[in-house]
Structure 1
Amino acid sequence: MDSHDVQSDLKHVLYTREQIADRIKELAAEIDRDYAGRDVLLVGVLKGAVMVMADLSRALHSHVSMDWMAVSSYGSGTQSSGVVRILKDLETDLLGKHVLIVEDIIDSGLTLSWLRTNLESRGPASVEICALLRKPAASKVDIDVKYVGYDIPNEFVVGYGLDFAEKYRNLDFIGTLAPHVYE
């Protein structure tokens, strides 16, 4: 699926497939440097982080383990509900592990703040965060994010794993959704 397939649903394209790939390679180089000599567990947050996790893991030059977690505070709307539910928990014991949470986007930060606290309570050696996108203007909590792909405006974005009502995830770019689609 490309921009021509959803042209009337988008305001504009924020990042192309090539721009995303280049930025993920840069993030992977930082992660490889920072975790040199240490085993890392990548924890992908479903469903949105699937694309980021796949491309980031392939761009890394070190061995990593992977696990997935699904948490929800959205439903099918555009605003966080503020209530976090675990839909799928990790299968990996975190005790003594270096954990890197991989996220597609940080909006309010409420869900991610909750998730970080939850994972830290499981006894890992460290917990850090890598997010492809962050919306500083939407932040409701202060959360330390070690690796950020792009800071973006407080607009509703789709593509590259990001959805609206389970649509648009399979776009190979990130675009701003036109308000007529979700209003």
Structure 2
Amino acid sequence: MEIRGRKATVLIPEDQIKQKVKQLASQISQDYRDKELLVVGILKGSFIFMADLVRELQVKTYIDFMQVSSYHTSMESSGEVIFVKDIGSDIKGKDVLIVDDIIDTGRTLKALVEALSQRQPRSLKTCVLLDKKERREVDYDADYVGFEIPDRFVIGYGLDWAEEGRTLKDIYAVED
């Protein structure tokens, strides 16, 4: 497959993604049994993953969204986290799970956790589909991780390159 003039090959096929989403949902449901959970999706990349995840959860779930940006239109994170849209929910005293598509440098998730922690949730955890540990620049790891991947630029299943590739069912690695 080709995207924006670059070759892209399947890194994680759809069937493996579906299986991993069910495993993550099972673990989260177990950890939050008998509790209510506010799931906060980070737009735009997490929306497909989050939709599939919350449909598999076996706990009372509420949903909200935030939008942040650090990539703009490039293949590299700018290192600057910009808060574009805040959540509409009061999270004080609530169990909150932030869902994002990917963690690489760790800056975005760490900034989100620090910002939301100030609002005094009962608990605050993070769930990501993909983890690029090789790229970590700050000391932060997600609580729930789907797949650890190599340092490759990826698209599909919600992840994009300048808005292209989001709706692909598999996750693809884009060649440099």
Unaligned runs of 5+ in 2: none
What is the CA–CA distance in structure 1 between the aligned matches of 2:112 and 2:54, rounded to whole Å? 21
TM-score by length of 1: 0.92
Letter in 1 for 2:110: S
What is the CA–CA distance in structure 2 between the aligned matches of 1:144 and 1:77, rounded to whole Å? 24
- Asked if the contact 1:163–1:169 (Cα under 8 Å) also holds between the matched residues in 2, the reply is yes
2:93 equivalent among 80, 91, 96 = 96
- Structure that is richer in helix per residue: 1
- Asked if the contact 1:10–1:175 (Cα under 8 Å) also holds between the matched residues in 2, the reply is no
- Asked if the contact 2:67–2:85 (Cα under 8 Å) also holds between the matched residues in 1, the reply is yes
Percent identity for Structure 1 against Structure 2 = 44
1:50 equivalent among 47, 52, 67 = 47
What is the CA–CA distance in structure 2 between the aligned matches of 1:157 and 1:151, rounded to whole Å? 12
2:175 equivalent among 169, 174, 178 = 178
Unaligned runs of 5+ in 1: none
RMSD over equivalenced CA pairs, Å: 1.3
After superposing on structure 2, the runs of 4+ consecutive aligned residues of structure 1 that deviate more than 3 Å are 8-11
Whether 1:27 aligns to 2:20 is: no
- The corresponding residue for 1:59 is 56
What is the CA–CA distance in structure 1 between the aligned matches of 2:58 and 2:108, rounded to whole Å? 30
Whether 1:113 aligns to 2:114 is: no
- Asked if the contact 2:100–2:129 (Cα under 8 Å) also holds between the matched residues in 1, the reply is yes
Size of the alignment, in residue pairs?
A: 175
TM-score by length of 2: 0.95
- Provide Cα deviations, 1:36-87, integer angstroms capped at 9, x if missing partner: 1111100000000001110000111222000000011111011111221111
